[in-house]
Each structure stands twice: as C-alpha cells, then as structure tokens.
Structure 1
Amino acid sequence: MALQLGDQVPDFKQASSMGDISFYEWAGDSWVVLFSHPADYTPVCTTELGEVARLKPEFDKRNVKVLALSVDDVDSHTGWIKDIEETQSVTLNYPILADSDRQVSNLYDMIHPNADNTVTVRSVFIIDPAKKLRLTITYPASTGRNFSELLRVIDSLQLTDNHSVATPVNWKQGDDCVIVPSIKDPQELQQKFPKGYREVKPYLRLTPQPDK
C-alpha cells in the first residue's frame, strides 16, 4: 500500500555513496528530504543533484538532511558523482542510496509500472523528526524538480507545526499567514496573535507571520 501523509515511514538499512545508512539512526532528530532518480547518468537528475548540493546550507539551516536514491550500485554512483561535480561545479555533500535490490524503492512505492517497471519514478518525500510523512510529490521524467519550492514547503511545515496558522497561496517567509478557523475566542486570538489580524471573511483572517 502506498504511503500516505501522516504515515510513519519505514526504516531500512541500505548502502550509499557515503557508506551504509540505517535510516532512522542516520536521520536522528532531523527532517529529511528523500528524493529518487530513475538511474545514474541521467541528464535531468544530474542537474538536480548539483542544485541540492548548492542548496545544502539552506537545508542545514532548517535542520533538514537530504538523501538521494538511485537503483544503481555504489561503483556506478562513484562515477556519476565525478560527472555531477564536473558539470555542475559543486562538491556532492550528501549521500546517494544504492538501491540496486529495490528494497527502498519498494518500501516507498517508487516504482510505478505504467511509467517503467524496473526503475524508480522521480519522487520526493519530506519526513519530519517523528518519521512521519509530511509531503510527497512525483514528477514526470521530463520535468526537473523545483528545490526552492521544497524549501518553501519545509518553512511552512515548520512554522505551522509551532503556531496556529496555515500559509496561503504562494506564501514565502515574511508574508502574512492565515489563522486556523478553529480559533474563535477573542481572548485566545489576542493572546496568540498580539500583532493583530485582519478579517477578510469570518473564516479568512490574516495575521503577520508569528515568528518574525
């Protein structure tokens, strides 16, 4: 059965370009972005892995570890990493799982037979420190992923986990947030949102970002 939002993700132990990884132990109390690739030496994925290496300081600031996956073995990854570093002008600073036995691919339902019955689709999983699945996105092979969007989603998840707000369309750091509809008591509103709020409709109330 496919993983659904809120599910606890499965643990695994698998080889990687940086040694064996026991997932729960490796993740610790961090958030994780796990993202899969159909195979090594694929052009779109080469650009993606380079971009994630460039963005790693941004993930680090958010207590997020990044973990790639491809169905090829470690020796293949080693050669591909040299190409990534050469063509993308980066140092690859995170591991790529070597899922040649498809263990992780099957656990996380990354193989979609109608797309390809042997390699993984290009999926993204955002996993919180409790090992709960918070986001999944699956991209077609022709479209590179937008990792700035994943950072934006992580910012939203971390904000809304700690404050009684949701984030509206196209929200980014510093923008107004939406007060969750369940809060109706005026005293609670004043206590939780001392910066005040603007009522557009009774169910649509905007407040400055609480942690700014």
Structure 2
Amino acid sequence: MTLKLGDTAPDFEAETTEGKISFHEWIGDSWAVLFSHPKDFTPVCTTELGYMASIKPEFDRRGTKIIGLSVDPVERHAAWASDIEETQGTAPNYPIISDGDFAVSKLYGMLPADVSGDVAARTPADNQTVRNVFVVGPDKKVKLILVYPMSTGRNFDEVLRVIDSLQLTSAHNVSTPANWRDGDKVIISGSVSNDQAKEIWPDGWEEPKPYIRIVPQPS
C-alpha cells in the first residue's frame, strides 16, 4: 500500500525492546514519531538512534512519543543499543520494533508485499527503502512522511520543527511560512474570511498581498 498524508496509520502488533505493543493503543492520546531502519549495526542509523535518545526530552515536552523500527530480531537490537551508547553517548530510551518478518515495513509501504525469506540473509541495501519518518497525530492520522537515502542522516530537529507547526496549526486557524520557527509570525489560513479574521485578530494584520495575511503567532 502507499500511505498518504491524512490516511489512518495502519495499526499493528509487534515485539519491541520494551515488550509487545499494539501501535494505536501505544500512541494513546499522544502524537507519535515512527522512524525506520534497514538493518541493525549500520553506521548512519547508529548516529540517528543515539541523537533521538539525546533529544527525547524535546519530544516529551511536545507530548510526542518516539519509536524506532529495524528489520532485525529484537535480540540484535539489545546488542546494537550497547554500541549506540558507546559511540553516541546515549542509549535508546524508547522502544525499537523488531520487524524480522517484514510485516510492519510491508504494511507501511516501505518494502514490497512479496518480500520474504530469512531476514539475516538480507543486506542493508536490500532494505534500503526502510528509511522513513512518519509523524502520527492523536487521531491516528499520518501528518508527515519523510523518506531519506541510506547515505544521508535524518534531520530530527526538522521533525521537531514540523511537530511544532502541526500542533499550532491544528489548534488555530493559521499556517506557518517557510523556515518558520516557534515564536515567528504566521499566516492566517485561506479558509478564514476577512470578516472572520477581524473577529479573531481585531488589531488587524500585515497584508503584502490580499492572499497573504500575516499575524503574530497565537499563544
């Protein structure tokens, strides 16, 4: 299947480094980030898992759970965690899904449906398409999909920035401009008429063009 923004994130049960989970139940009323990896003991992924562990408090502050996935058995994840702590300074402090049967990767469209066989016989290159980031809202809808090549480490600071935008724009009738950061000015959503906007922003707005109405970020 091909997931699109606004689709319901497929639910699944899986073994993780913190026990068995049901994905939707695990998310609960939180936001969630699922980020995937083609194989344990791969260099770029090692740096990513360590960095995510170091900034987990930032996700916690935003009411967002994080969960990794790698196409390997859960017992290999534990050994990999030791390497991550040794080389990156922080061990994973969030669950990592064991996708040794390719079930979740196929469910999320990261591997073809006909993939089968011994996971240990597959190389990272065989699983190179398992390099996605999915942000899922409390409504279990997919809010963001990022896909990275194996050679490029992911920018998780950007994921935090997007979550800030998603949470702000889901609560207020605004959109965020290019390179927006928390605290910057925002744009009144196009679905809001001028009459409605006057009720919400009685002090008015900047209007370089009639379709660009700029206001301070709502608190």
Alignment gaps of 5+ in structure 2: 116-123
CA distance in 2, matches of 1:62, 1:193: 26
- 2:21 is matched with 21
The aligned residue for residue 64 of structure 1 is 64
Query: CA separation in 2, counterparts of 1:98 and 1:25?
Result: 18
2:106 corresponds to 1:106: yes
User: CA 1:68 to 1:185, structure 2 compared with 1: closer, same or farther past 3 Å?
Assistant: same
**Residue 84 of structure 1: SS of its match in structure 2?**
helix
Please name the residue that 1:203 is paired with: 211
Q: 1:1-212 maps to which residues of 2 (within 5 A)?
A: 1-111=1-111, 116-118=125-127, 120-186=129-195, 188-194=196-202, 196-211=204-219
TM-score between both structures, scaled by the size of structure 2: 0.91
Give deviations 1:85-111, integer Å, cap 9, x for gaps: 111111321011000001100100112
Q: Distance in 1 between matches of 2:137 and 2:64?
A: 9
For 1:110 and 1:62, locate their aligned partners in 2 and report how far apart those are by CA, in whole Å: 27
How high is the TM-score relative to the length of structure 1? 0.94
Question: For the Cα contact (< 8 Å) 2:50–2:90, is it kept in 1?
Answer: yes
Unaligned runs of 5+ in 1: none
Runs of 4+ in structure 1 deviating by more than 6 angstroms, as ranges, are none
Shift of 1:171: 0.3
Which amino acid is 1:23 matched to?
F
| SS of aligned partner of 1:48 | helix
Distance 1:27 1:92 in 2: 18
The Cα of 1:24 is off from its aligned counterpart by 1.1
* Deviation by residue 1:24-72 (Cα, 9 ceiling, x = unmatched): 1111111110000010000000000011001100000111000100010
* CA shift for structure 1 position 139: 0.3
Distance across 2 between alignment mates of 1:84 and 1:150: 21
Superposition deviation, residue 118 in structure 1? 4.4
1:104 partner amino acid: V
Q: 1:130 Cα deviation (Å)?
A: 0.8
Q: Contact conserved, 1:105 with 1:120, CA < 8 A, in 2?
A: no
CA distance in 2, matches of 1:134, 1:116: 28
Could you say what secondary structure the match of 1:47 adopts? Answer: helix
Paired residue secondary structure (2:197): helix
SS of the residue corresponding to residue 143 of structure 1 reads coil
Question: Do the aligned partners of 2:131 and 2:147 also contact (CA within 8 Å) in 1?
Answer: yes
SS of equivalent residue, structure 1 residue 65: strand
What is the CA distance between 1:117 and its match in structure 2?
A: 4.6
| Structure 2 contact 32–137 (Cα < 8 Å) conserved | yes
In structure 1, how many angstroms separate the alpha carbons of the residues matched to 2:152 and 2:203? 41
Letter matched to residue 207 of structure 1 = V
Whole-angstrom CA distance in 2 between matches of 1:195 and 1:94: 45
Counterparts in 2 of 1:84 and 1:195: CA distance versus 1, 3 Å: farther
Cα distance in 2 between the residues matched to 1:195 and 1:26? 43
